[in-house]
Every structure is written in C-alpha cells, then in structure tokens.
Amino acid sequence: SDLQKQEERGELLQPLIFVLLVLCSVLLYFKVSLMDPGFVKPEEEEGEDKGQGVVIPQIPGDIKLRRCGYCLVKQPMRAKHCQLCQHCVRRYDHHCPWLENCVGERNHPLFIVYLSVQLVVLLWGGHVAWSGLYFEQSREWLQHNILLLVSFLLILIFTIVVLLLLASHLYLISCNTTTWEFMSHHRISYLRHSELENPFDQGIILNLWRFFC
C-alpha cells in the first residue's frame, strides 16, 4: 500500500517526530502550569531557604528578611508575594497569564524547556505552511490559499513572540537575575542598597550551571 511505501522511504518519520514534539509541548505546558513554582511554606525556617544560593558579601548586612503582609510568612531573599496565586514564591520571576501560574524557583527551568520545544514546533509548522504556498496574483489563488496564508501569518506572530520571550529569559538567566528584579530594581531593598548592580551575578557559565543543574 501507499502507507507501507512511505514508511519504507522514511517519509513517515518526520510527521511522527512533529506529532511527538507537539505532544511533548502540551505535556510540558500542563506540567509547568500545575506544579508548585516554589511557594514559601509557613512551617519553613529561615535557614532552610534553598533558593538563595551562595551568600553574596556585597549585600548589606542590615537588610533582614521581612514578613509578608499578605500570607504572614518570612520571605526569603528574592521571593515575592503574588496577588493572583495568593502565595509568596521563591526566586519569583513573573506570573504567566498563559500558564495561569507563577514562574519561580521550581518550574522556571521547565518553563525554558517548554518555550524551547514550543519554538521548534512553531518553526517547523511555519516551514510546512510556507512550503505549501505558491504565490499568484489572482483572486482564485487567494480563495484557495487564504486558510494556509492566515495560518502562516499566525505561526509567524507566535514564533516572534516565543523567540523574544525565550531570548529575554536566557539573557536574564545568564546574568542570574529575574524578570521581577530586572523590572523593579529600584524598588527592591537588597538590590537598591547593594554596591553592585547585580550582586548575584557569578559569571555566565556558573549562572547557567546553577540554574539548570
């Protein structure tokens, strides 16, 4: 049959890989959106904070951990209370409306993996849509290809958004900072009073190693 011939020629391998990538993207989405991003528990002690990493001597010693006015827990350094999740989140990055969850210490690496897989799927889908287009200046061509053309334009827009989002996160990770710290540097006490612009930066390689490993 035609299906067996296509299998023998290896023509079914690429669609299978694409479907697996889409499935992987969906599973990663649910994993990142449903998992604990690093909520600060009331029973946790101050010294058990695993999100601080190495203590940086340039941070002034008079800056003490404060108690959150909403959930009444002691906030570890780099934690922030999320009004939508109603929790303090360790190494808070941002609240993602697409995931309906915070991106924090625990799910941030998986969030990067999700964006990477999503980008591959979009680039692949865009290539397929583009290869199916042949341009002619006629009304009939537009009527027959309008759906494919709109699909390609939507894929292109989503690709640009995901690419910019992934690039910005990788840049912030390489500097060992978060979106919240980057956007609110002047309002965060341990950054505002620090002698260094970013006291957590330990070099690109070590920053990436500590984040992903």
Catalytic residues: 96
> What is the bridge-based pairing of β-strands 94-96 and 80-82?
unpaired
Q: What average pLDDT does this structure show over 49-69?
A: 56
Total domain count for the chain?
1
How far apart CA 208 and CA 121 sit, in angstroms, is: 24
Q: How confident is the model at residue 135 (pLDDT cuts 50, 70, 90)?
A: low
Q: What is the mean pLDDT of the chain?
A: 84
What is the reported pLDDT for 82?
Answer: 94
Q: What average pLDDT does this structure show over 85-102?
A: 94
Q: Is residue 123 part of a domain?
A: yes
How far apart CA 118 and CA 99 sit, in angstroms, is: 14
Q: Is residue 187 part of a domain?
A: yes
Q: Is residue 97 part of a domain?
A: no
Tell me the percentage of the chain whose pLDDT exceeds 90: 55
What is the reported pLDDT for 61?
Answer: 54
Q: What average pLDDT does this structure show over 119-127?
A: 94
Q: How confident is the model at residue 57 (pLDDT cuts 50, 70, 90)?
A: very low
Q: How confident is the model at residue 50 (pLDDT cuts 50, 70, 90)?
A: very low
Distances (CA, A) of 120 to 22, 28, 165, 192: 9, 14, 14, 39
If one compares 193 and 200, the residue with the highest pLDDT of the two is 200
What is the reported pLDDT for 8?
Answer: 57
Q: Is residue 88 part of a domain?
A: no
Q: Is residue 51 part of a domain?
A: no
Check whether 112 has a pLDDT greater than 90.
yes
How far apart CA 151 and CA 138 sit, in angstroms, is: 19
Q: Is residue 79 part of a domain?
A: no
Q: Token match 């006291």: residue? A: 199
How far apart CA 66 and CA 92 sit, in angstroms, is: 16
If one compares 191 and 36, the residue with the highest pLDDT of the two is 36
Q: How confident is the model at residue 54 (pLDDT cuts 50, 70, 90)?
A: very low
Q: How confident is the model at residue 107 (pLDDT cuts 50, 70, 90)?
A: very high
Q: What average pLDDT does this structure show over 156-163?
A: 96
Looking at the DSSP bridge assignments, the partners of residue 74 are: 67
Q: Is residue 182 part of a domain?
A: yes
Q: What average pLDDT does this structure show over 199-213?
A: 93
Q: Is residue 75 part of a domain?
A: no
What is the reported pLDDT for 128?
Answer: 85
Q: Could you tell me the residue range of the domain that residue 113 belongs to?
A: 2-36+106-212
Q: What average pLDDT does this structure show over 64-73?
A: 81
Tell me the percentage of the chain whose pLDDT exceeds 70: 79
Instruction: Specify the range with the lowest mean pLDDT, choosing from 7-11, 121-125, 199-203.
Output: 7-11
